[in-house]
A = this chain, B = another copy of it.
């Protein structure tokens, strides 16, 4: 088992990474709970819920609730229903919520924990590669019809329990989604990290040694940044590399058409192209495009309205007074945030989308 400790402004929490942790995670908590609510989704329920409930058998009162799998559950109605369930179960502020699932569950259950009685303890138990990213750093949120994660908090978990055995069951499209965020972490970190990722093949079975290595390195990159800037006043914005266009694509295509990471991968490609144009530098755009193709990422996004995409980008959380802010790369490992004017974005986006279709 590997352990990283994340320092926040108010406390510190451990990220535990290892095989089989779902069977023994109670041993690693620094306090006990009489009352636990497990929130999971309809995919994870049949795979790991029973294991987690068995591990919790010593706890006085355990309840669980299952929401439909998929990003669509991260909405205001499901959020409010979960709060109602927590109240009706008699959960109090000394209780614990466990978010068992991928990033959707982590964000949703985390926001419930952040706001139920002004905050109860919660554990992140990620079951996807993508969630190596979302489960660390304390960002929790639900979506608004107008945009992703527009309603949320910064609310760190008590611990992140990452049982890598649960990664064996995720579908190919989720592997791609997760590795895109690892690729992002690599590019904002260093050329050497990217070089390693560039050699990873996403065909199953995944190389487990490499997977754990990459997950831990990804978490380390993220941890270092969020420790410096928990509430995203400055450097934490770098983690948004690829996300300005990525989020807009997800929303315009319809959530779930491409996975989050797949959309972010296209966003990274665009941010790299724009970086080259902006700084006149050379980035491994071609290598990254090749890696995406080899690993069967969907990269064709025809028939999208440039205007609609740009309107989405202007509502991005980094935006200032409707002016788009992009994370660009001066070189691998040197991200910066730049305000880009509308004409530049529009021209670059037109060229980029046309090129992708080819």
A107 to chain B, nearest CB (A): 11
- Let me know if A117 and B150 touch, CB within 8 A: yes
A301 to chain B, nearest CB (A): 24
Interface residue? A9 (CB, 8 A): yes
Interchain CA distance A115-B118 in the complex, whole Å: 12
Interchain CA distance A303-B45 in the complex, whole Å: 47
Interface residue? A90 (CB, 8 A): yes
Interface residue? A317 (CB, 8 A): yes
Interchain CA distance A320-B90 in the complex, whole Å: 10
Find chain B residues with CB under 8 A from A231 CB.
118-119
Interchain CA distance A291-B167 in the complex, whole Å: 66
Interface residues on A, range: 35 or more
**What are the interface flags for A319-341 relative to B under an 8 Å C-beta threshold, 1 for contact and 0 otherwise?**
11110000000000000000000
Partner of A118, one of B84, B141, B144: B141
Interface residue? A114 (CB, 8 A): yes
- Let me know if B141 and A84 touch, CB within 8 A: no
Interface residue? A146 (CB, 8 A): yes
Per the 8 Å Cβ criterion, residues 115-141 of A in contact with B are 115-119, 139, 141
Interface residue? A152 (CB, 8 A): yes
Interface residue? A308 (CB, 8 A): no
**What are the interface flags for A94-130 relative to B under an 8 Å C-beta threshold, 1 for contact and 0 otherwise?**
1000000000000000000011111100000000000
Instruction: Jot down 8 A-B pairs with beta carbons below 8 A, ordered by A.
Output: A34-B321, A76-B80, A84-B144, A90-B321, A94-B321, A116-B150, A117-B317, A118-B317
